[in-house]
Amino acid sequence: MKAPVSAAPKDPKAQYATLPWRKTAGLQIMLVTSRETRRWVVPKGWPIKGLTPHESAAQEALEEAGIVGKVSAEAIGDFHYIKRAKNGSFKNCRVTVFPLEVAFERASWIEEDERVRKWFGVKEAADAVHEPELKALIHAFGKRMSGA
């Protein structure tokens, strides 16, 4: 269910995400399914006390996708979305995205029974996500990594 923007609080809540990537036969982006809607998204979550934003993002990638690698401390951008809480309320979220070069995929991970992970080409990953700002981030990252 999509909420009208006016239904969410004005001040966005901060979340952190990774854009997991690898280069094997071209640049690939990993996406995971969300738990509720099963849409393709990047691993993301709320700030974790005691961790920096990029460390929080890397921890979410480990929990949601079972991936480990080198996360950049420099964000590549932000995207916004409306999150529906379990109580039916809506939260306006601003997600800061950090690239994560994936070095290892665990065979088993915390949320493996709740999510699917999948590698996509850059165009396919951008086409798979719903948020326009995230689509643009994926395209821009692909161009930057290909030197275009």
Residue 114 phi/psi, 5° resolution?
A: -110, -15
User: Which CATH fold topology does 5-146 show?
Assistant: Nucleoside Triphosphate Pyrophosphohydrolase (3.90.79)
Specify the pTM.
Answer: 0.89
Q: Domain-by-domain residue ranges, the chain?
A: 5-146
| Cα 92 to Cα 84: distance, rounded to the nearest angstrom | 9
Per-residue pLDDT tens for 27-82?
A: 999 999 998 889 999 999 999 999 999 999 999 999 999 999 999 999 999 999 98
Distances (CA, A) of 48 to 18, 73, 76, 97: 14, 15, 20, 15
For the record, the structure tokens of 88 come out as 């039916």
